[in-house]
């Protein structure tokens, strides 16, 4: 097996079981490994540290499969997949929805592999050279361990480019009669499209937070910003909201949002869709002196890495400030950030700054995070990306 020898002192992160090794940490290689091939990572004094997948083009040059001196083969991946499947069973996510994340990459100790389950269909994203190298084996094992027959591939995330991989979309195993099918989450139905939807089709990470919004929405005038296919909107209506306005820049998403309201037999006449830019619409509402009892802000990722944090902070500040102004006294702000580059402490600071500049006082009454099917390995804090605050305006 090829070996990568690290520079002196650069073994520290691996000793803490963080799975990434950056190109600058590598002193020498005894041969150039193939893309995705398994390599040994050795300290400068040639001690074994980890067995990893090699990524020839990425700054993250290797990702550890294991820190033990064990064989990385089909049975190795079977054990990893089996424990990920078992975790979803134990965390009872299967009792709440037939759509959930089955494998969450580094957080389930399989770097680069994401697998979401939508009822009887698995949707797979291979994001790294290592996951790509083992993809066919992983696909076979996923079917064996779940008893399912169909896998659709959505390996079209931009990060594949960093790994020197082309986008790939299409059927990987089995057959599919349609890309559109409904799932059930906490007794509500959602139609989604696994071929053209965002990520693998649905924002599964927000499941428990959508339920929380359902519990809080009774008799409220709600504004759902960045509503996508209506996850929060449908839950607010199901919770007895007096009215809901849903805003998104995508007309396809808004069409599905309306369909999802109708599918659950919720009152369409309490609902308004607005296609447009949230940043502009919030200003328009402010100028028109609109007010709400509850505002949800679930924007896209403004800062993929900490290098984008400053620009992202301005965007978060802007929408949160406007939302605080639009809220009535005792109104509730449910605000999220899914940016890896903005941690929870910084996000809270930004929201506090927004309240201050809006001239309002507010309390955090709840901290929200990604649901249990998106676990976080203690050794890979990057896996914790979704943070949310429920704030009560004075
Ligand atoms: N809350 C949703 C997920 C939101 S994803 C759920 O629970 O399912 C982010 C959404 O923001 C996407 O649908 C995207 O179309 C929309 N979006 C991105 N930038 C926008 C902008 N400036 N104004 C309005 N919508 C925007």
DSSP letter at 98 equals S
What is the distance between the alpha carbons of residues 320 and 327, in angstroms, rounded to a whole number?
Answer: 11
Nearest atom within ligand 1 for CA of residue 210: 7
Residues near 73 by Cβ (< 8 Å), separated by ≥ 6? Answer: none
Which pLDDT does position 305 carry in this prediction? 82
Site of tokens 């696994």 = 194
What is the distance between the alpha carbons of residues 207 and 213, in angstroms, rounded to a whole number?
Answer: 10
What is the distance between the alpha carbons of residues 113 and 127, in angstroms, rounded to a whole number?
Answer: 6
Is the Cβ atom of 165 under 6 angstroms away from ligand 1?
Answer: no
Q: Is 104:377 a contact under the CB 8 Å cutoff?
A: no
- Residue 391, H or E segment: strand 387-393
Is the Cβ atom of 36 under 6 angstroms away from ligand 1?
Answer: no
Which pLDDT does position 30 carry in this prediction? 87
- pLDDT tens digits, one per residue of 153-173: 999 999 999 999 999 999 999
Q: Is 374:104 a contact under the CB 8 Å cutoff?
A: yes
First to last CA, the chain: 63
In angstroms, what is the span from residue 1 Cα to ligand 1's centroid?
A: 46
- pLDDT tens digits, one per residue of 211-260: 999 999 999 999 999 999 999 999 999 999 999 999 999 999 999 999 99
Q: Is 134:77 a contact under the CB 8 Å cutoff?
A: yes
What is the distance between the alpha carbons of residues 360 and 309, in angstroms, rounded to a whole number?
Answer: 25
Residues near 11 by Cβ (< 8 Å), separated by ≥ 6? Answer: 43, 44, 47, 49
What is the distance between the alpha carbons of residues 231 and 154, in angstroms, rounded to a whole number?
Answer: 21
Nearest atom within ligand 1 for CA of residue 277: 23
- pLDDT tens digits, one per residue of 317-327: 999 999 999 99
Is the Cβ atom of 228 under 6 angstroms away from ligand 1?
Answer: yes
Nearest atom within ligand 1 for CA of residue 253: 13
Look over the chain and give the mean of its residue pLDDT values, rounded to a whole number.
97
C-alpha dihedral (88, 89, 93, 96), degrees to nearest 10: 150
Q: Which domains does the chain possess?
A: 3-66 (2.30.130.10), 74-177 (3.30.750.80), 188-195+203-393 (3.40.50.150)
| Mean local confidence (pLDDT), 94-120 | 97
Tell me whether residue 338 is one of the annotated catalytic residues.
yes
In angstroms, what is the span from residue 250 Cα to ligand 1's centroid?
A: 8
Dump the DSSP string for 367-380.
EEE--TTS---TT-
Q: Is 281:325 a contact under the CB 8 Å cutoff?
A: no
Model confidence at 304: pLDDT above 90? no
- pLDDT tens digits, one per residue of 336-370: 999 999 999 999 999 999 999 999 999 999 999 99
For residue 60, what are the β-bridge partners? 22
């Amino acid at each position: 097996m090829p070996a990568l020898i690290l520079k002196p002192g650069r073994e520290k992160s691996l000793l803490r079981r963080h799975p990434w090794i950056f190109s600058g940490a590598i002193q020498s290689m005894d041969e150039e490994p193939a893309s995705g091939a398994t390599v040994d990572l050795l300290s400068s004094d040639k001690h074994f540290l980890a067995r990893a997948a090699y990524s020839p083009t990425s700054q993250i040059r290797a990702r550890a499969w294991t820190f033990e001196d064990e064989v990385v083969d089909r049975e190795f991946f079977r054990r990893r997949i089996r424990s990920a499947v078992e975790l979803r069973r134990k965390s009872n996510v299967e009792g709440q929805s037939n759509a959930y994340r089955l494998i969450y990459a580094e957080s389930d100790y399989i770097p680069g592999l994401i697998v979401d389950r939508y009822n009887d269909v698995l949707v797979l994203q291979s994001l790294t050279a290592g996951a790509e190298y083992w993809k066919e084996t992983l696909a076979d094992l996923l079917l064996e361990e779940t008893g399912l027959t169909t896998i659709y591939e959505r390996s079209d995330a931009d990060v594949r480019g960093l790994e020197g991989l082309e986008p790939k979309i299409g059927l990987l195993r089995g057959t599919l009669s349609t890309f559109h099918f409904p799932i059930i989450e906490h007794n509500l139905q959602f139609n989604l499209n696994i071929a053209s939807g965002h990520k693998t089709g649905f924002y599964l990470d927000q499941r428990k937070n959508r339920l929380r919004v359902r519990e809080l929405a009774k008799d409220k005038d709600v504004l759902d910003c960045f509503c996508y296919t209506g996850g929060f909107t449908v839950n607010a209506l199901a919770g007895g909201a007096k009215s809901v306005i849903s805003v998104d820049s995508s007309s396809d998403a808004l069409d599905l949002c309306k369909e999802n309201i109708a599918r659950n037999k919720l009152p369409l006449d309490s609902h308004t869709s607005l296609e447009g830019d949230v940043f502009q619409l919030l200003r328009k509402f402010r100028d028109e002196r609109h007010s709400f009892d509850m505002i949800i802000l679930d924007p896209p990722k403004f800062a993929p890495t900490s290098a984008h944090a400053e620009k992202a902070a301005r965007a978060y500040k802007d929408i949160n400030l406007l939302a605080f102004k639009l809220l009535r006294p005792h109104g509730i702000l449910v605000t999220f950030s899914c940016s890896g580059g903005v941690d929870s402490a910084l996000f809270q600071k930004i929201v506090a700054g927004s309240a201050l500049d809006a001239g309002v006082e507010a309390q955090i009454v709840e901290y929200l995070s990604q649901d249990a099917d998106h676990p976080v390995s203690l050794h890979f804090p990057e896996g914790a990306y979704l943070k949310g605050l429920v704030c009560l305006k004075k």
